[in-house]
Structure 1
Amino acid sequence: MASSIPANFTPDNILLIKLRHHGDMLLTTPVINALRQRYPQANIDVLLYQETRPMLQANPDIRQLHVIDRKWKQEGARKKLAHEWALLKRVRASRYDVVINLADQWRSAIITLFSGAPVRIGFDYKKRDNAFWRLCHTHRVSTAEHGKLHTVEQNLSALAPLGILARDTVASMHYEADDWPQTAALLAGLDVSDSFIVIQPTSRWIFKCWDDEKVAAVIDRLARADRKIVLTAAPDKNELAMIDNILAHCKTPHVVSVAGKLSLTKLAALIDHAVLFIGVDSAPMHMAAALDTPCLALFGPTKLQHWRPWGFNNRVIWAGDYGPLPAPDSIDTKTQQRYLTTIPVEDVVVAARKLLNE
């Protein structure tokens, strides 16, 4: 067993590793916030995938981001190996006192080991119950309770070896100083005033989405001349087609679309200035919760306990309250079926108006 970490341990350099999607990266920020509170003098770095960099790039508590670009493999084996070796050398040269590996990949474990950090924390995954995983991590944290915990709580549990117990720590989303002025200028060109609602009805997985006609019905009920609806989506052809279909079903003129026109940090600025965010299980939903914008999240057969919005200014409407849903692990992510279809328009409108204090 690893030796215990002294209570007066004060690391100078800390590395956090998480190799997942955009929402996952945002949900690591409570760990960063807890580390900053405990070690105000420490340098905190993060290793993540290149495409998720915008979720953390403006965070003032992070010194630097190490990135893995999944496009490296397109450059051929030799160049990919050169990139990997250069990354390992940068991590080693940073002389980390602590590495916290929140990932379950072998790649993250190897980087953790190669860092040379005297304290290397990882999770004690059953599928990684072998000598090499134990060699990579000086301290391992049980995952026995993870099935009952939110993803944020799972991440925060990795801090237990450091004596940090902070299960209620908030998430954070930051954007650049010029993101809001540029976004505000875009809105002004669409005749959107200071009061607006953001709705992101899309996801890269269609099974997480509500019916286009029902989204349009909600827009018609909530939109006003002095409080327009702003629709957002990723610059993906399927998501943009969904936005077009929703607009085609809308009767109100008080709705505009900025779908595909905003970077992630500009989207954060937009959500931060909205009076309400309505969306499905997606990264923008987590952004709204982290920004403390009133958030109404529509959920279907994903793991609600793990992925509900983390914060206090939100409401969840779950399709499982209106009819049976398949088990989350049984879902074919390529299906075109929309499991949120049982959610009534009226319940969404009522919940939205409560969040708007109407």
Structure 2
Amino acid sequence: MASPILANISPQNILLIKLRHHGDMLLTTPVINALHQRYPQANIDVLLYQETRPMLEAHPAIRRLHIIDRKWKNEGAWRKLAHERALIADVRACHYDLVINLADQWRAGIITRLSRAPLRIGFAFKKRDNALWRFCHNQLVSTADHSTLHTVEQNMSALAPLGISREGARVSMHYSENDKQYVLSTLLENGINSPFIVVQPTSRWGFKCWEDEKVAATIDQLAKQNRKVILTAAPDQKERVMIEHIQSLCRSPDVVSLAGKFSLPQLAALIDHAQLFIGVDSAPMHMAAALDTPCIALFGPTKLQHWRPWGEHNRVIWAGDYGPLPSPDSIDTNTQQRFLSIIPVEDVVAAARSYLNE
């Protein structure tokens, strides 16, 4: 329970800290949304890694983003130190009343302390059970139940000292009007003027991917003249090669590749206009769930409890329902083994058709 003192505070400037990957950043939006609802007069800022900026830059409740560029370490010790000092100066200049640190890195803890905010909330991570971590924060929230919670619920639990419930947590993905118009014009340029499905079968980790042949077979059963299937992927060369291979295996002419063509906010605009999204455990999958686009998510040896799509119009197809899987903690992330291969095409097609009312 939150103390009456914290539950009744009225902060004017709030900083949220999270230093993780793209999907992780999207799953912080329930915290941002809840803070904005509770404190509509407050300025809300976020500290994050440079590469994850697209996930939050269009969020209407965020005033500004403080950036850490992981390339600083390549500029030499003195230049890196100058960047860090400038960051701390910027943070202090904002005069935060409240800092909420969702991160577990020491860097995040130290920035929390150096912000000089009178209220500094963090998590009581087991690996940070020491005096310095406690010195960085003056309110620590237990993580004892985090193993049973979705990542959204974990993040929302940081708001307990403020008396904010995690009930009704809502993930949101935002994009600009320019992004929307760019996507719509790209669709027209590619002859797409009817309903479409988005399929993003790629991940930066191969072990999260389905077999190319099964992706192609699924597409062939869903694509038709008045309903295109659009293949998407990151600009990464490996992902684009995978998409080219999948497209070469497709017999249907109603398949269009827009792989590597969009930024993440532009991809969000595309997914927002789709009838259906089919993908693997990845940031675009979380984007589809946040946009309330019907979503079929294929999972392998991943902690489903933490990373399943958050929302109402989602269907998870888990390889573990078809055969044994290794523990997620035992996976060599560099392996090329595709643990999703035991998922049958007909089950994915049936799930898709249920959303398409066929």
Superposition TM-score tier, normalisation by shorter sequence = over 0.9
Q: Is the 8 A contact 2:72 2:80 kept in 1?
A: yes
Q: Which residue is equivalent to 1:327?
A: 327
Displacement of 1:285: 0.2
Q: Which residue is equivalent to 2:125?
A: 125
Q: Give the SS at the match of 1:135.
A: helix
Structure 1: tracts of 5 or more residues without a match: none
Q: Is the 8 A contact 1:193 1:227 kept in 2?
A: no
Q: Distance in 1 between matches of 2:228 and 2:6?
A: 55
Q: Distance in 1 between matches of 2:227 and 2:296?
A: 17
CA RMSD of aligned residues (A): 1.0
Q: Distance in 2 between matches of 1:6 and 1:75?
A: 42
Q: Which residue is equivalent to 2:70?
A: 70
2:339 matched to 1:355?
no
* Alignment deviations for residues 268-327 of structure 1 (CA, whole Å, 9 cap, x no partner): 100000000000000000000000000000000011100000110110000000000000
Q: Which residue is equivalent to 1:151?
A: 151
Q: Is the 8 A contact 1:15 1:46 kept in 2?
A: yes
Displacement of 1:222: 0.2
Displacement of 1:168: 2.6
Q: Give the SS at the match of 2:340.
A: coil
Q: Is the 8 A contact 1:179 1:269 kept in 2?
A: yes
Q: Distance in 2 between matches of 1:339 and 1:71?
A: 33
Q: Is the 8 A contact 1:44 1:62 kept in 2?
A: yes
Match runs of 1:127-276 below 5 Å: 127-276=127-276
Q: Distance in 1 between matches of 2:191 and 2:26?
A: 31
Displacement of 1:6: 3.8
- AA aligned to 1:190 is N
- AA aligned to 2:262 is L
TM-score by length of 2: 0.98
| Aligned-pair identity (%) | 72
Displacement of 1:158: 0.2
Q: Give the SS at the match of 2:288.
A: helix
* Alignment deviations for residues 82-116 of structure 1 (CA, whole Å, 9 cap, x no partner): 00000001101111011000000000000000001
Displacement of 1:3: 7.6
* Alignment deviations for residues 212-249 of structure 1 (CA, whole Å, 9 cap, x no partner): 00000000000011110000000111111110110111
Q: Give the SS at the match of 2:141.
A: strand
Q: Which residue is equivalent to 2:111?
A: 111
Displacement of 1:4: 6.2
Q: Distance in 2 between matches of 1:277 and 1:6?
A: 41
Q: Distance in 2 between matches of 1:309 and 1:293?
A: 11
Q: Distance in 2 between matches of 1:175 and 1:7?
A: 33
Q: Distance in 2 between matches of 1:3 and 1:224?
A: 59
TM-score by length of 1: 0.98
Structure 2: tracts of 5 or more residues without a match: none
* Alignment deviations for residues 24-62 of structure 1 (CA, whole Å, 9 cap, x no partner): 000000000110111111100000000000000000000
2:93 matched to 1:86?
no
Q: Which residue is equivalent to 1:102?
A: 102
Q: Distance in 1 between matches of 2:231 and 2:248?
A: 13
* Alignment deviations for residues 53-89 of structure 1 (CA, whole Å, 9 cap, x no partner): 0000000000000000001111111111000000001
Q: Distance in 2 between matches of 1:124 and 1:7?
A: 20
Q: Distance in 1 between matches of 2:150 and 2:3?
A: 29
Q: Is the 8 A contact 2:26 2:171 kept in 1?
A: yes
Q: Distance in 1 between matches of 2:113 and 2:4?
A: 18
Q: Which residue is equivalent to 1:300?
A: 300
Q: Is the 8 A contact 1:18 1:47 kept in 2?
A: yes
Q: Give the SS at the match of 2:342.
A: coil
Q: Is the 8 A contact 1:5 1:161 kept in 2?
A: no
Q: Distance in 2 between matches of 1:7 and 1:261?
A: 46
2:49 matched to 1:53?
no
Q: Give the SS at the match of 1:46.
A: strand
Q: Distance in 2 between matches of 1:36 and 1:119?
A: 17
Q: Distance in 2 between matches of 1:309 and 1:114?
A: 35
- AA aligned to 1:112 is T
Q: Give the SS at the match of 1:199.
A: strand
Q: Which residue is equivalent to 2:344?
A: 344
